[in-house]
Amino acid sequence: MLLYKKSLAYLLSLLFELLGFLSSCKHLDRPVFIEALEDCCVDEGSDLKLCGVVTGSQPIKVSWLHNGEVARFGNPSFNGREANFVVRECLPEDAGAYTCLAENSAGKTSCCAAVFVKDFETMYGVPSPVSKIPTSASKSIMKNGKPSQSQKDELQKLRGSTCASPTDSDKQSPVSSPREVIPKKRANSGTGPALHFENHPPQIEVKVGEAARLTCVFTASPPVVSCWIRNKEQIVDGPELWAENTDQSSTLVIAEAKPQHTGRYTVVVKDRKSSAQHTLTLSVVESPEPPASCPVVSLVSASSLVLSWSGPCYDGGSAVLGYVVEVKSQGPAEPGDWRELTAQCKSTSYSVCSGLQPQGEYCFRVKAFNTVGVSEPGPVSAVVKMEQKASHKPEEEGPHAYSTVTIDSSHKVTDHYNMLEKLGMGKFGLVFKLTHKETGRVCAGKFYKGRRAKEREAARKEIELMNYLHHSKLVQCLGAYDHKPEMVMVMEFIAGGELFERIVDDNFEHTEPASVRYMQQIVEGISFMHQQNIIHLDLKPENIVCVDTTGTSVKIIDFGLASRLDSNTPLKVMHGTPEFVAPEVISYEPVCLATDMWSIGVICYILVTAMQRPWPWSQPPSGSLMRRALMRSQMRPKISSVPCLTRTAGGGCAVKRHSHTLGWQHLTLEIMPPPPRPCQRIR
């Protein structure tokens, strides 16, 4: 009886536990997606993330399917509420239908989403030989990240074959093998080579009419897509130009190169890991255009002349290397054909020294050439007639009879000379034109302001120094008068005017050979002064005057600031024209013979470059301003040498260079190449 009671109690306890378990099962909630997965579209190589929110009684088990099979290439996560699935660096085979399965003790449910992957061909609009998975999802492009209606219909079929409805989840298996999608095995992108370009020349040059091939070789991980861009626009294949692409190179082919094809081309290459670009410059070259102007003739003699012209407006895409000069006889008796004077002229001026006859009539034309070929002839010059053989002689200075001048204190200048019009004025006083009463010789009279003893002493100093300056390139003193309160120095009259006025005159033909001639004479005159240990200290174009209005003979004038150097007493000055003074004048340091060479260098710069002043300002800076600027920068302008140009027979320039720290005995001669494109006429 006791055993019976114990057995009955045990059965009752089991019954109560079973009833409690059944009661608890009635209160479990099956999983439900309160936020479903969303369809999405991603670019190849970017990351994919799917997210859904699930509620239900815990614990809930979450699993993912891709096209009906277990998803192998992704990172799933579930925090009890949010289910996430992330695929890094999507490939085209990652497209398709993704299913999220949620299951607990009360039941199971699922949710589906369609994923589109834009491949490289779709992104760049170029074909590729690499085959893709033939799924509708990988072939389609969504607008604004959403599928079109036809895509929705296809994905609905895909969902129907891969996703089980929540109501039928207890009756059938949720996994069904699709017939259309066979996922590819993911390649290991970390083992391929990094995308980079091989070494290529930055510039390619082809002739007009030839085929141009712009090839870039690179190393990348297939599949690779590439495209060419010019002016921020993608180049589309056509009959004139097209691209030839492989997994190792990309070539842009231009069937027939034309000048308009010149420019910069950029190739953009992208593989599964990265992208890169490389830019090439294409130059389509041709023969240059003819010279822009006809040759201008100057310095005509019996058997020689100088030609000057303008270069071509377009050099054909390649630098002009030189010019071909041709001549044609225009005589009425025997009109000749064009014949070549030179084929190696390197500048836009040429001195013809042979092949011309006195009294002959000739015309000239010029061709330009570059690496491609020779241009058509330029405009023909006007007919020029050579001078008679005896009508012109080289400019030579005849013998001069120099005399030492003493100051005459017993006569007035008007006792011996007639005063005519005023020629000019300056800080020292006035200059008048004079004629000798007996000989009729025309002279110039420099009237000093002599009211102060200092002014009279400066006038006496200039007159005394000029007794040491007996040279054909230096203006000569012919007499001096001291009649208080004024002093007068009589000088030779030079009628050609200032050199500066000739440079800026549009009606005067100023050429490089003329500049050479001017510089030679200036250097000759200053060289003689330095041999006497005298420095000018005020060299500028206004103090260089022309002997006549047509020739190139010049003389140096105005020795009011000139001084004789004493080796025992350093000379410091604070005067001169700011644009032309040397740095030691500005910084108030001892001057030397080389101080004049700085000014000569500035004059040479003006002659060669046609600049009126070597300053960027409308007005030259004052000496104090220049001095403060030098002190503030704690720098002193340095000059290694000052050039003096002379033309050589081959078109080059013989440059005399004078060191700033050396004397005349260190003057050297150096052959320099001609400038690449000198102007036709210096103004």
Nearest alpha carbon to residue 78 among 96, 41, 104, 105: 104
In angstroms, what is the C-alpha Rg of the chain? 48
Nearest alpha carbon to residue 378 among 426, 313, 430: 313
Of 538, 548, 566, 596, catalytic: 538
Rounded Cα–Cα distance for residues 50 and 42 (Å): 12
Question: What are the tens digits of pLDDT across the range 471-482?
Answer: 999 999 999 998
- So what's the pLDDT on residue 50? 94
Q: Please, are residues 577 and 539 in contact by the beta-carbon 8 Å criterion?
A: no
Q: Is residue 150 very low, low, confident or very high in pLDDT (cuts 50, 70, 90)?
A: low
196-285 homologous superfamily? Immunoglobulins (2.60.40.10)
Return the DSSP state at 291.
Answer: B
Nearest alpha carbon to residue 538 among 578, 569, 498, 570: 578
Q: Please, are residues 430 and 488 in contact by the beta-carbon 8 Å criterion?
A: no
Burial 519-529 (b: 16+ CB within 10 A, else e): bbbbbebbbbb
What letter represents residue 571's amino acid?
A: L
- Domain 32-168 part of CATH 2.60.40.10: yes
- So what's the pLDDT on residue 25? 54
Q: What is the mean pLDDT of the chain?
A: 77
Beta-carbon contacts of 596 under 8 Å, excluding residues fewer than 6 positions away, are: 526, 529, 530, 535, 536, 537, 539
**Angstrom distances, CA of residue 187 to CA of 16, 364, 435, 460:** 59, 75, 107, 101
Q: E strand or H helix at 419, and its extent? A: strand 417-425
Rounded Cα–Cα distance for residues 512 and 680 (Å): 9
Question: Residue 92: is the preceding peptide bond cis (ω within 30°)?
Answer: no
Rounded Cα–Cα distance for residues 669 and 553 (Å): 23
CB atoms within 10 A of CB 378: 24
Active site residue 29: no
Question: What are the tens digits of pLDDT across the range 351-386?
Answer: 888 888 888 889 999 999 999 999 999 999 988 888
Question: What are the tens digits of pLDDT across the range 86-134?
Answer: 998 888 888 889 999 999 988 899 999 999 888 766 665 655 444 333 3
661 compared with 85, residue with greater pLDDT: 85
Q: Which residues are annotated as a binding site for ATP?
A: 446
Q: Please, are residues 50 and 35 in contact by the beta-carbon 8 Å criterion?
A: no
Whether residue 445 is predicted with pLDDT greater than 60 in this model: the reply is yes
386 compared with 627, residue with greater pLDDT: 386
Q: Rounded to an integer, what is the distance from CA 471 to the centroid of its chain? A: 49
What's the rounded mean pLDDT across residues 552-567? Answer: 90
E strands, 426-582, are 429-436, 442-449, 477-483, 486-492, 534-535, 544-546, 554-556, 563-564
Whether residue 535 is predicted with pLDDT greater than 70 in this model: the reply is yes
Q: Is residue 468 very low, low, confident or very high in pLDDT (cuts 50, 70, 90)?
A: very high
Helix 594-609 vs helix 512-531: crossing angle, to nearest 10: 170
Count the alpha carbons within 13 Å of 372 in the hemisphere toward its beta carbon: 22
What's the rounded mean pLDDT across residues 514-539? Answer: 92
452 compared with 635, residue with greater pLDDT: 452
Rounded Cα–Cα distance for residues 212 and 263 (Å): 13
DSSP letters, 662-676, are S-GGG-EEEEEPPPS
Tokens 């970390």: give the residue.
Answer: 190
What's the rounded mean pLDDT across residues 252-272? Answer: 91
- So what's the pLDDT on residue 556? 94
Q: E strand or H helix at 634, and its extent? A: none
Give 309-378 as a 3 state SS string.
Answer: CCCECCCCCCCCCEEEEEEEECCCCCCCCCEEEEEEECCCEEEECCCCCCCCEEEEEEEEECCCCECCCC
394 compared with 27, residue with greater pLDDT: 27
Rounded Cα–Cα distance for residues 114 and 524 (Å): 94
Q: What is the CATH number of domain 407-492?
A: 3.30.200.20
Percentage with pLDDT > 70 across the chain: 73
Same CATH topology for 296-385 and 407-492? no
- So what's the pLDDT on residue 106? 86
Sheet of strand 442-449: strand arrangement: 407-408, 477-483, 486-492, 442-449, 429-436, 417-425
Beta-carbon contacts of 269 under 8 Å, excluding residues fewer than 6 positions away, are: 195, 197, 216, 218, 220, 224, 225, 226, 250, 275, 276, 277, 278
- So what's the pLDDT on residue 88? 87
Give me the residue spans of the domains in the chain: 32-168, 196-285, 296-385, 407-492, 499-672
Nearest alpha carbon to residue 141 among 37, 44, 47: 44
Question: What are the tens digits of pLDDT across the range 179-234?
Answer: 344 444 444 445 667 888 987 778 899 999 999 999 999 988 887 888 999 988 99
Q: Please, are residues 200 and 266 in contact by the beta-carbon 8 Å criterion?
A: no
CB burial class (10 A; 0-12, 13-18, 19+) of residue 135?
Answer: buried
Q: Which residues are annotated as a binding site for Mg(2+)?
A: 543, 558
Q: Please, are residues 469 and 559 in contact by the beta-carbon 8 Å criterion?
A: yes
- For residue 81 the two structure tokens come to 């509420």
CB burial class (10 A; 0-12, 13-18, 19+) of residue 187?
Answer: middle
**First CA to last CA distance, the chain:** 142
Question: Residue 335: is the preceding peptide bond cis (ω within 30°)?
Answer: no
What letter represents residue 375's amino acid?
A: S
What's the rounded mean pLDDT across residues 399-422? Answer: 86
What's the rounded mean pLDDT across residues 259-269? Answer: 92
Whether residue 62 is predicted with pLDDT greater than 90 in this model: the reply is yes
Return the DSSP state at 443.
Answer: E
Beta-carbon contacts of 20 under 8 Å, excluding residues fewer than 6 positions away, are: none
Q: Which residues are annotated as a binding site?
A: 446, 543, 558
Question: What pTM value is reported for the model?
Answer: 0.41
Tokens 């255009």: give the residue.
Answer: 289
- Domain 296-385 part of CATH 3.30.470.20: no
Question: What are the tens digits of pLDDT across the range 493-525?
Answer: 988 888 888 877 776 777 778 888 899 999 999
633 three-state secondary structure: helix
Whether residue 161 is predicted with pLDDT greater than 50 in this model: the reply is no
Whether residue 344 is predicted with pLDDT greater than 80 in this model: the reply is yes
Whether residue 674 is predicted with pLDDT greater than 60 in this model: the reply is no
DSSP letters, 170-201, are TTS-S----SS--PPPPP-TTSSPPPEEPP--
Could you tell me the fold of the domain covering 499-672?
Transferase(Phosphotransferase); domain 1 (1.10.510)
